[in-house]
Amino acid sequence: METAPPVYSNIELICQGAEARLFRCLYFGHRAILKERFVKTYRHPDLDQTVTLQRLKGEVRLLTRAKQLGIHTPAIYHIDWARRAIIMEDLHEARTVKSVIDQLIQEQNTAKLENLAQQIGTIIARLHQAQIVHGDLTTSNMLLKDNDQLYLIDFGLSAHVTNKAQMLEALAVDLYVLERAIICTHHKAKHFFSNILLAYKSSISDEKLRTLTMNKYEEVRARGRKRSMVG
Amino acid sequence: MVITAIGFEGSANKIGIGVIRDGQVLSNPRRTYITPPGEGFRPNLTAKHHQSAILDLIDLALKEANIESLADIDVFCFTKGPGMGGPLIVVATVVRTLAQLYDKPIVGVNHCIGHIEMGRLITGATNPVVLYVSGGNTQIIAYSEHRYRIFGETIDIAVGNCLDRFARLLKLSNDPSPGYNIEQLAKKGNTYIPLPYTVKGMDVSFSGILSHVKTIIVGHKQARTQGHEQKKIKYSNEDLCFSLQETLFAMLVEITERALAHVGSNQVLIVGGVGCNVRLQEMMGVMCNERQATVCAIDERYCIDNGAMIAQAGYEMFRADKTRKGMTLEETSCSQRFRTDATFVNWREDK
């Protein structure tokens, strides 16, 4: 009789963030990513368990919701509650948008850069129109496959914001965070963010929402990510 | 050139005057306005308290520092903000008067930056991520490009304010401080009562915790007066204090960890009144250990608002000011709201 393959094998650590450890592994013999929210020993065990499971659920929920909107996100294979981990698709053949941009700049491939910016803008608009903020939009959290499919990853800080006033603020900050990230990592990519913004604007179908979000965004830009707390 | 700076701090319920000479604290006396249990400090009464204490305190600060007269001071530093309007103005008025009498330059200091610079001086931390936790402020700060930038903060009340108001609900003593008494009670608690835990990225929110605690306590009171069986959660003050601390501090440590990962630093500096809580320092230590980072904490003399910290920050600003003129009188106004990132940090040369 054939023995069943182990659930996880070949586990190897990719990186450790503030919140979770990321592993590459074989899940029942298939390539997968394991995102484990490790135990925070400084936190009371009951509290740690509640908070972690809440966030795990939230991340899975928003990943799925984004997928339903037609946005490419890694497929979820399994949720390991005991290990407090999400096991998901390993997009190993994809590259981070960060490295793609660097390469395109070197090749001076303006057409392709514009194309990419357009793609990013459209996807963010789609997410935002569904009242979802990603919470950590950087070019490292976007992956590009060889067939030019753009994937969004890491929904750990994402939220579904229903309150209208809070939503505008959240959307605007989401855009602003991306702008800052692009300025910091890709200062040579001129017009890249403005191209994203152009595509974003033309993809928001509700004119009122577009105007309100853009006004809010200008406001956030003027004062920085944080409220000014003056007055 | 040796610079002797005197610092005046009175933005909240403490009035402190400190003398610093080139990084050496010569004196740092302080008085606290303590209110009866169940009460907070009101701005007008606090201002009166500071008014009645400030002159004696100047004498004491000079005496302890072995300085004969204010004429031997090189620069007068005071808290420009943020803080309570009345108390800020009382102190600023005294400083303006004295500086003009002795014809000395004045430097208005951002209170938060006072804490940071004092923390750096005492601990020797070079470029830490700063957790600033007090009755009026909760911020996670890191230095970049000549500004102390706020990476995260409370979106409603400060952590110390949450502790203070919690203590008022339980009618705990305000002597020496509500936070200290909560800390002592918490040591005897061991049952964890779940409380709301709100972290949004690098921001935190505490007001929900306070409302939640209120419903727990008031719910019990009602049950007792109406002779009902206690339907809700069983609790003791000790357990409540314990749970409150565990929840609040876990949130603070979490955003600090996130900031550490974000800026790639391996030093944490805790400043502000809540920073002298040993449990907070302990939890921060555990987190830092896991990340091969270190915690720099300071004791109550310099954690809690004091005059020396204002003198130290003012000294740095004065030293960087090549004109040695300090601020014009018009610039010595106070501001209740004065953001940490509003000051251009020209005394640090690193990026």
Predicted confidence at residue B201, as pLDDT, reads: 81
Query: What confidence score (pLDDT) does residue B226 get?
Result: 65
CB contact under 8 A, A136 and B194: no
Question: Which of B197, B246, B258 is closest, CB to CB, to A18?
Answer: B258
* Same-fold call for B4-116+305-342 versus B126-302: yes
Which of A46, A47, A134, A137 to substitute to test the interface with B, most B CBs within 10 Å?
A47
CB spacing of A42 vs B250 below 8 angstroms: yes
3-state DSSP assignment of residue B343: coil
Q: What is the pLDDT of residue B224?
A: 64
Q: Do B153 and A226 touch (CB under 8 A)?
A: yes
B7 is in an annotated binding site: no
pLDDT number for residue A231: 38
Is B135 part of any known ligand binding site?
yes
Whether residue A51 has pLDDT greater than 70? yes
Tens digit of each residue's pLDDT (9 = 90 or more) over A78-126: 999 999 999 999 998 999 999 999 999 999 999 999 999 999 999 999 9
Does residue B233 carry a pLDDT above 80? no
Mutate to test the interface with A, among B110, B138, B141, B150 (most CBs of A within 10 A): B150
Tell me which residue in B153, B201, B286 faces A42 most closely, judged by beta carbons.
Answer: B286
- Locate the chain A residue with the closest alpha carbon to B263: A18
Mutation target among A21, A37, A44 for the B interface, most CBs of B within 10 A: A44
**pLDDT recorded at residue A165:** 83
H or E segment at B79?
Answer: strand B75-81
d(CA B35, CA A81): 49
B272-324 pLDDT tens trace = 999 999 999 999 999 999 999 999 989 999 999 999 999 999 999 999 999 99
User: How many Cβ pairs within 8 Å bridge chains A and B?
Assistant: 54
Specify the range with the lowest mean pLDDT, choosing from A137-146, A186-195, A197-206.
Answer: A186-195
* pLDDT for position B189: 96
B2 has a pLDDT exceeding 50: yes
Catalytic-labelled residue, pool A80, A90, A136, A174: A136
Instruction: Compute the distance between CA of residue B141 and CA of residue B147 in angstroms, rounded to an integer.
Output: 10
* CATH node for B126-302: 3.30.420.40
**What burial letters (b/e) apply to A130-143, b meaning 16+ CB within 10 Å?**
ebbbbbbbbbebbb
The whole-number average pLDDT for the span B54-68 is 97
Residue B223 has pLDDT above 80, yes or no: no
B39-53, B220-234, B257-271, range with the lowest pLDDT = B220-234
Contact (CB<8Å) A18/B153: no
The residue in chain A having the minimum alpha-carbon distance to the alpha carbon of residue B140 is A226
DSSP state of B275: G
pLDDT one-digit tens code per residue, A150-169: 999 999 989 999 998 889 99
* Mean predicted confidence (pLDDT) in A18-34: 93
SS3 percent helix, strand, coil of chain B, rounded to 5, is 45, 20, 35
B64 marked as binding residue: no
Q: Give the model's pLDDT for residue B292.
A: 93
Helix (H), strand (E) at residue B268: strand B267-271
Chain A residues within 8 angstroms (CB to CB) of chain B:
17-19, 40-44, 46-48, 50-51, 135-136, 157, 159, 224, 226, 228-231
Contacts of residue A224 in chain B, CB cutoff 8 Å? Answer: 341
Peptide bond before B87: cis, by omega within 30 degrees of 0? no
Neighbours of A14 (CB within 10 A): 12
Distance from CA of B162 to the nearest CA of A (A): 19
What would the pLDDT profile of B76-118 be if each residue is shown by its tens digit? 999 999 999 999 999 999 999 999 999 999 999 999 999 999 9
What's the angle, vertex CA A151, arms to CA A149 and CA A156, rounded to 5?
Answer: 175
Q: Which residues of B touch A159 (CB under 8 A)?
A: 200
Could you tell me if B140 lies within 8 Å of chain A, comparing CB atoms?
no
Question: Chain A closest CA to B350's CA: distance in Å?
Answer: 18
Q: Which of residues 262-281 of B touch A (CB under 8 A)?
A: 262
Q: Do B253 and A42 touch (CB under 8 A)?
A: yes
Res. B263 pLDDT band, cuts 50 70 90: confident
Query: pTM for the full model?
Result: 0.89
Q: What is the pLDDT of residue A181?
A: 87
Q: Give the pLDDT score at A32.
A: 96
> Cα–Cα distances in Å, from B349 out to B20, B115, B267, B271?
22, 19, 19, 22
Is there a catalytic annotation at residue A102? no
CB nearest B337 (choices: A18, A47, A230): A230
Nearest-CB residue to A47 (from B200, B201, B247): B247
Q: Which residues of B touch A157 (CB under 8 A)?
A: 201
Q: Which residues 6+ apart lie within 8 Å of A128 measured at CB? A: A171, A174, A200, A204, A213
Q: Is B306 annotated as a binding residue?
A: no
Identify residue B335 by its one-letter amino acid code. S
Q: Does residue A226 register a pLDDT over 70?
A: no
Q: What is the pLDDT of residue A230?
A: 46
**Which has more confidence, A132 or A230?**
A132
Domains of chain A, start order: 8-89 (3.30.200.20), 95-223 (1.10.510.10)
B38 annotated binding-site participant: no
> Is B115 annotated as belonging to a binding site?
yes
CB-nearest partner of B339 from A41, A51, A228:
A228
Q: In chain B, positions 285-304, which contact chain A (CB-CB < 8 Å)?
A: 286-287, 290
Query: For A45, which residue in chain B has the nearest alpha carbon?
Result: B192
Residues of B within 8 A of A228 (CB-CB) are: 339
CB B192 to CB A18 under 8 A?
no
**Domain B4-116+305-342: CATH architecture, name and number where available:** 2-Layer Sandwich (3.30)
Judged against a pLDDT cut of 80, whether residue A3 lies above it is answered with no
| Residue B277 annotated in ligand binding | yes
Which of B110, B139, B145 has its CA nearest to residue B127? Answer: B145
Domains of chain B, by residue range, sit at 4-116+305-342, 126-302
Nearest by CB to residue B197, choosing from A51, A136, A231, is A51
The pLDDT value given to residue A103: 95
* pLDDT confidence bin for B23, thresholds 50/70/90: very high
Tokens 């903000």 belong to B81
